[in-house]
């Protein structure tokens, strides 16, 4: 299970909406206790591809985010990106580029009337498992 606060969720949605029609992206840092992963900080990064269909995170921003996580005593839990016009599920490219089997891959769809956020784990064979996502007040 991965836990986000309502404020973190709202900030991800706002960031994604601000970048429509492009995909928005970022990293999530936090703590892991058993099977529970709690997000402590969301890092908003630049999609250097400037594309509506895929993303690449700015490497300097990634480095700065990981450095900040270390300073805070938290770890990299995974990443997020938006799908401006498609459902909240990993695309074939998302699966192909998912190299970290321990990461949570959060995908925010803006395709419907309301945003939809889901979290996924992707194993070494590119099998996708939906991860329970809990948004707390």
Q: What is the pLDDT of residues 39-78, one digit of tens each?
A: 999 999 999 999 998 899 999 999 999 999 999 999 999 9
Considering its fold, how many domains does the chain have in total? Answer: 1
Identify the domain containing residue 91 by its residue range: 2-136
pLDDT in tens, 73-114: 999 999 999 999 999 999 999 999 899 999 999 999 999 999
User: What is the reported pTM?
Assistant: 0.95
* 50 CB-near residues (< 8 Å, 6+ apart): 22
Kindly tell me the number of DSSP H helices and DSSP E strands found in the chain. 3, 8
* 25-33 vs 75-83, strand pairing mode: antiparallel
CATH code of 50's domain: 3.40.140.10
Q: Tokens 């909406």 belong to which residue? A: 17
């Amino acid at each position: 299970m991965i836990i986000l606060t309502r404020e973190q969720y709202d900030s991800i949605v706002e960031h994604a909406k601000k970048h429509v029609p492009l995909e928005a992206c970022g990293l999530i840092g936090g703590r892991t206790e058993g099977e529970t992963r709690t997000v402590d900080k969301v890092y908003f990064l630049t999609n250097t591809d400037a594309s509506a269909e895929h993303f690449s995170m700015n490497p300097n921003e990634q480095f700065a985010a990981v450095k900040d996580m270390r300073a805070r005593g938290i770890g990299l839990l995974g990443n997020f990106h938006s799908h401006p016009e498609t459902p909240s599920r990993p695309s074939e490219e998302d699966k192909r580029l998912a190299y970290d089997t321990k990461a949570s891959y959060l995908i925010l769809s803006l395709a419907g009337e309301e945003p939809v956020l889901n979290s996924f784990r992707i194993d070494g064979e590119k099998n996708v498992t939906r991860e329970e996502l809990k948004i707390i007040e």
